[in-house]
A and B are shown apart, each in its own frame.
Chain A
Amino acid sequence: MFDSASIRVDIVVPYKKRYLSLVGNIAEAVVQALDNYGGDRDTLAFHLNLVLTEAMVNAIEHSNPLARDHAAKVSISIEGDNLCVGVYDQGPGFDLDLVPTPDLEEPSERGRGIFLMRTLMDAVSYRKTEAGNVLEMHKRLE
């Protein structure tokens, strides 16, 4: 059983791709700071960096252009053995269930972002909230 104090980190950055590395590096630092995590810390840090990067790009590309002058919010929280990350956008939203699984045998340039999130995390959801749409990802830490 993973036992850790709760951690919550909220990051607010402009809707710009130049901040992807900043958010990714913060996510990696959060993983490296975990107490009593017995898994492969470097791999978890890389995966969290990756799924947050994918979700940020998704938020930037799906946001209402008028909202891009506002800040994007990213939330990373760990409670017990549950890792939860959320990326908010102010766009019209989309139906996650309609995002197709990419054909890995006939690869095309785009369409791997959601696939990577679904593969590397235990659960991915997308819903509307009062704070905007949120793409939320959960992973159980072992």
Chain B
Amino acid sequence: MNIATETREGRSILALREERLDSSNSGELRSIILGLLTADGQRLIMDLSAVRFIDSSGLGTLLNSSKDAHQRSGSIVLAGLQPRVQSMLELTRLNVLFDIFPTLEDALAKG
């Protein structure tokens, strides 16, 4: 899985460099996120701007990763959602569980 991680302004940023987040790679993503949530209170920004396709497995992974973060008193916010990815979050009403920002810069500034 092609992922870039960095820390900026005290925030962990995970940029998913894949066109698809589906059943073939969502399990690996969950493991990577769990690996980043090593301390309590971590605030993770997921940059999904490269992702143009998400399936139910990908949606489930976002949900569970958010739960993992909350259990550690942290949070995950989403940035850069393409319209069809956003529409899938809305269709399944998962959008209400996340703070969603148009761009990574917006998430850093306001998230």
B94 touches A53 (CB 8 A): no
A57 touches B55 (CB 8 A): yes
Q: Which residues of B contact A111 (CB under 8 A)?
A: 56
B94 touches A54 (CB 8 A): no
A112 touches B23 (CB 8 A): no
Query: What is the interface of chain B mostly: helix, strand, loop, or mixed?
Result: helix
A20 touches B91 (CB 8 A): no
B23 touches A116 (CB 8 A): no
Q: How far is the CA of A26 from the CA of B56 in the complex (A)?
A: 20
Most chain-A Cβ atoms within 10 A of its Cβ — which of B22, B59, B61, B88? B22
Q: Give the interface segment out of A70-78, A80-88, A102-110, A134-142.
A: A102-110
Most chain-B Cβ atoms within 10 A of its Cβ — which of A46, A49, A112? A112
Residue of A nearest to B97 (CB): A107
Q: Which residues of A contact B84 (CB under 8 A)?
A: 43, 46
Interface residues on A, range: 20 to 34
Q: Which of B53-98 contact A (CB under 8 A)?
A: 53, 55-57, 59-61, 63-64, 84, 88, 91-94, 97
Given known pairs A109-B64, A112-B59, A113-B56, the reply for A57 and B97 (CB within 8 Å) is no
B17 at the interface (CB under 8 A from A): no
Chain A, 19-33, contact with B by CB distance < 8 Å: what is the 0/1 string? 011001000000000
Could you give 18 example pairs across A and B, Cβ below 8 Å? A17-B23, A20-B20, A21-B19, A46-B53, A53-B23, A53-B53, A57-B55, A57-B57, A102-B92, A104-B92, A105-B93, A108-B60, A109-B60, A109-B61, A112-B92, A115-B56, A116-B91, A119-B91
Give me 7 other A-B pairs in contact (C-beta within 8 A), A20-B55, A46-B53, A115-B92 excluded: A21-B24, A107-B63, A107-B93, A109-B61, A109-B63, A110-B56, A116-B56
